[in-house]
Amino acid sequence: MADVFPKFIIEGDVLVIAKCKYHKELVHDKEKVKGGGWWRLDKETNTMILDGDSHDFGAAKVEDIKACIDKGNVFSDSYQLCNISDRYNFSYDTRTEIIVLKTSNNN
């Protein structure tokens, strides 16, 4: 099996978080992609921590990421079948600080 990596993209108003080789594997309409990056899961706090950028699409803006999360448009697959908006807390790592984007009481 080919190596896969934890990556995300913002396409329109949807955040797609999955494991893939290339960010472009998560995309349906590249004209709508606002950027991407990498993720890691902090199992202790049940937090998806997003950071970095995409070689294919550049960095996603924190504001765009937060908007997707606030709308409940977070999916773990490019077909947008598995909504994970309420399963995790979400944060963004700027490398100098961690910005909390969403917390829940379901930890």
Look at residues 21, 37, 30, 41 and name the one whose alpha carbon lies nearest to residue 87. Answer: 41
Do the Cβ atoms of 27 and 78 come closer than 8 Å? yes
Residue with tokens 């490398």: 95
Structural domains of the chain sorted by starting position, each given as residue range(s) with its CATH number in brackets:
5-102 (3.50.20)
pLDDT tens across the length of the chain (107 residues): 579 999 999 999 999 999 999 999 999 999 999 999 999 999 999 999 999 999 999 999 999 999 999 999 999 998 899 999 999 999 999 999 999 999 985 54
pTM: 0.93
Buried b (16+ CB within 10 A) or exposed e, 38-67: bbeeeeeeebbbbbeebebbeebeeeebbb
